[in-house]
Amino acid sequence: MKRWGLRALFSVYTLVLVACGGSDGNGDAPSAVADLTLSGRVTYDFIPLTLPEGSEYGAALDYSALEPRPVRGAPVLLLDDQGKELANTVTDHQGEYSFVVPTQKKVQVRVLAAARQEGAPAWNLEIRDNTQDNALYALDGALRCTGEQDSRRDLHAASGWTHNAYTEPRAAAPFAVLDTLYEGQHRILKYSPEQIFPPLTVYWSVDNRPAQGDVALGEIGTSYYLDGDIYLLGAADLDTDEFDRHVVMHEWGHYLEHRLYRSDTPGGPHSRQSFLDMRVAFSEGFANAFAAMMLDDPLFRDTLGPVQGKGGSFVVGEEGAPSQGWYSQVSVGNIVYRYYASEDNQREYGFLHQALSDQRYQEAPSLTSIYLFADQVHQYRPGALDEMLIQEQVVGRGQWGAGESNHGGNDAALPVYRGLIPTGEHQYACSGAQHGQYNKLLNRQYVALDVNVEGEYVIDLEADNTSDADLGYTLFQRGAILARSEQQGLSRVQHAVKLSPDEYVLEVYDWRNLDANGPGADVCITVRVHP
């Protein structure tokens, strides 16, 4: 088992005690007094957000409104003077903890930036420093004697903000992240009381900055979720996210998508103006709506810049998206959030959690998109999203988006899925870079493949009227990658695969459109699948 170190943070504490007795000075002298209660409260500095002066949609941290908040659900360790763990407990909803301790014993209280529970429900969440050998953040009290009467040791994680700058250790930051996730986790537990949350590590550091490179040096680029981990920015005067609760909850939404629900997104760069691959549009739009739902606040805010005072904001669910359609993260977020806040649903997330956790959603043959989501909701509540879909110019219906007419400015983007039965017939699909590369609309196109007979089939792709192509494919079976091409530089691809009767999705593309920094290319492809 890999062992992680601790990154201990200083604390402020109050207590009532006397010095340990005993001639040898080791604090173990006998006493006639019974065991004592050592208790306390753990808090952190919470910094709320405000609008910068003269701004209608900006975001800034309001250090003047700083307030102590309880550290909830965190492990508390009682250590002796050798660092050995004597006992452990967990802070309650008010941040309180309590131990029964012997008299005249030197002990130290340590609070971990973590949340752990076994059984059902269960979770294992940790906040670590990726720039310090992945050390777990911890808040340490002083080593003191228990004395001969009950005592309190209150620990406080301070913000580190003095004289208009961060001049002291930013002990509050990891606990602020922990508390945001505590709130989301307990919102899910309201609807799923025995929920088992897969392990999650959140990496935050004061050195995590918007630069691409080595994450061990803090060069994380942006806050993001990837394969069970969340990375958060913490670079003062550039971009900090520990108090940007919508940002933290957005990334936790990606975690839930990946680990509890289903997500087929390739990820990558995106913006509110982007025309996106439908999987990316759904994932990012859902995560925005998820943050607004968990926090019951549709104003999504993100602070950055000097003194964390030059951020921006937008309203999830607001009409008038910069781009509207099945390829827009804004449209997706609006649809999901409006339904959450609708008279039909009355701001209850439980129904959406149920729908996304359903096996029919997780094992659907189509890929994740606003179509699959709407189709799943309509399994429970027929027509519930129809008005919202129309408002956001999402015309297609069913998980395959049948009948979609909104092509995003390029006829080649439709139909969303092109149907094909593997008998030697062919379909046409195109790959282009009109809206950018890697994860944008039309970089990849989708062919719905209906296999009725088990056997070996040849996936046959041929560039239409050009030898200047770099073709590739990925074959999905109910969201899982079954096969893919690896060789590049080919204008004709022929690969044999064994298929059983089922519905598949064949994703076809030109590799030049999957390179975010590549030249891009407009290529149409003849697609055949035959025995």
> Considering only CA atoms, which of 256, 400, 393, 267 is closest in space to residue 327?
393
* Three-state DSSP class for residue 374: helix
Distance CA 157, CA 10 (A): 8
Distance CA 402, CA 420 (A): 14
> Considering only CA atoms, which of 84, 113, 78, 79 is closest in space to residue 97?
78
Q: Looking at the domain assignment, is residue 476 inside a domain?
A: yes
Look at residue 52 in the predicted model and tell me its pLDDT: 82
Burial call 312-341: b when 16+ CB within 10 Å, e when fewer: ebbebbeeebebbbbbbbbbbbbbbbbbbb
Look at residue 249 in the predicted model and tell me its pLDDT: 98
Cα separation values, 209 from 48, 215, 229, 290, 413, Å: 21, 9, 17, 25, 37
Q: Looking at the domain assignment, is residue 398 inside a domain?
A: no
Look at residue 209 in the predicted model and tell me its pLDDT: 98
Residue 517: give the domain boundaries: 412-530
Look at residue 19 in the predicted model and tell me its pLDDT: 52
List the end-to-end C-alpha distance of the chain, in Å, as a whole number.
48
Phi, psi (deg, nearest 5) at residue 164: 65, 30
Phi, psi (deg, nearest 5) at residue 210: -80, 65
Q: Tally the domains of the chain.
A: 1
pLDDT tens digits along 76-104: 999 999 999 999 999 999 999 999 999 99
Cα separation values, 9 from 141, 158, 207, Å: 9, 9, 16
Low-confidence ranges of the chain (pLDDT < 70): 1-6, 8-19, 21-33, 321-323
Look at residue 9 in the predicted model and tell me its pLDDT: 67
Distance CA 376, CA 332 (A): 15
* DSSP alpha helix (H) spans, 386-449: 386-391
Tokens standing for 18?
A: 């006397």
pTM (2 d.p.): 0.94
Q: Looking at the domain assignment, is residue 356 inside a domain?
A: no
Q: Looking at the domain assignment, is residue 289 inside a domain?
A: no
Contacts of 476 (CB under 8 A, 6+ apart): 264, 367, 482, 504, 505, 506, 507
Q: Looking at the domain assignment, is residue 512 inside a domain?
A: yes
Distance CA 501, CA 498 (A): 10
CATH code of the domain in which 514 resides: 2.60.120.380
Q: Looking at the domain assignment, is residue 379 inside a domain?
A: no
Q: Looking at the domain assignment, is residue 419 inside a domain?
A: yes
Q: Looking at the domain assignment, is residue 102 inside a domain?
A: no
Look at residue 8 in the predicted model and tell me its pLDDT: 65
Question: Residues 275, 276, 279, CA angle at the centre, nearest 5°?
Answer: 155
Write the single-letter amino acid at 183: E
Look at residue 20 in the predicted model and tell me its pLDDT: 76
Question: Residues 133, 135, 138, CA angle at the centre, nearest 5°?
Answer: 160
Q: Give the largest CA-CA distance in the chain.
A: 95
